[in-house]
């Protein structure tokens, strides 16, 4: 299957509400993209199309990087669980020396590549699972909306704390997910992000950008 064609066929070019500087291939409604993916799921065992939506935590991180380019300018950035690529694109626009978007979903990887091209930025994409990996080249690591399940939240937070202990700037975007830890974080920015009732339980989410402290 042509993954890039699937992305374009089932989305529309949209600017997320909090980050109008960035255009993305996004689903305009949840049901059609979910159905299209489920039809393909039966054949290919694909994960749900989380990449087709600009989640609140990712929007907050992207807004933060655009508003504070000094955090990433001239530095090497890893965006973990990159989804649509919104944070990776923001890092590139903010002047990062290099940006690597890590996303194990191959359809998400295709979406990230398409979105990077749409925004005329250079982003490397990997589908390798980098969780628990350490690379001295990563000066900044970002992660958005990763605290929605306890096992994932525990693993990601432990990994980010380890990276922070090695001197990496670890930034987490979170709109109040259930398994966000209650300590070891410093608030760096706070945004109100308009959302859809199809995706969230409210029309606006409070999304915070946290700096993760070392273990």
**Burial, 151: exposed, middle or buried (Cβ in 10 Å; 0-12, 13-18, 19+)?**
exposed
How many domains does the chain fold into?
1
Task: Residue 81: give the domain boundaries.
Answer: 3-212
Query: For 25-56, what is each residue's pLDDT tens digit?
Result: 998 766 465 566 555 555 555 667 889 989 99
With 90 as the cut, is the pLDDT of residue 10 above it? no
With 90 as the cut, is the pLDDT of residue 196 above it? no
Least confident of 35-39, 55-59, 87-91: 35-39
Query: For 102-156, what is each residue's pLDDT tens digit?
Result: 999 999 999 999 999 999 999 999 999 999 999 999 999 999 999 989 999 999 9
Q: Which residues, listed in sequence order, are joined to residue 61 by a DSSP beta bridge?
A: none
**Burial, 10: exposed, middle or buried (Cβ in 10 Å; 0-12, 13-18, 19+)?**
buried
pLDDT class for 177, splitting at 50, 70, 90? Answer: confident
> For position 89, which CATH number holds?
3.40.50.150
SS3 156: helix
């Amino acid at each position: 299957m042509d993954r890039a064609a699937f992305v374009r066929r089932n989305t529309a070019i949209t600017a997320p509400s909090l980050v109008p500087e960035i255009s993305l291939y996004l689903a305009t409604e949840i049901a059609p993209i979910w159905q299209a993916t489920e039809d393909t799921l039966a054949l290919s065992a694909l994960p749900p199309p989380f990449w087709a939506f600009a989640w609140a935590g990712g929007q907050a991180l992207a807004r933060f990087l655009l508003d504070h380019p000094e955090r990433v300018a001239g530095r090497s950035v890893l965006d973990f669980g990159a989804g649509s690529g919104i944070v990776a694109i923001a890092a590139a626009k903010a002047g990062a020396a290099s940006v690597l978007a890590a996303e194990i979903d191959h359809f998400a990887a295709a979406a990230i590549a398409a979105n990077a091209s749409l925004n005329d930025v250079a982003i490397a994409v990997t589908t390798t699972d980098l969780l628990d990996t350490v690379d001295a080249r990563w000066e900044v690591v970002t992660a958005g909306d990763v605290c929605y399940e306890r096992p994932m939240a525990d693993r990601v937070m432990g990994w980010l704390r380890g990276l922070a202990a090695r001197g990496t700037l670890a930034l987490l975007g979170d709109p109040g997910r259930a398994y966000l830890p209650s300590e070891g974080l410093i608030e760096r920015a706070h945004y109100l992000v308009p959302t859809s009732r199809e995706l969230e339980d409210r029309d606006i989410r409070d999304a915070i950008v946290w700096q993760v402290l070392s273990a």
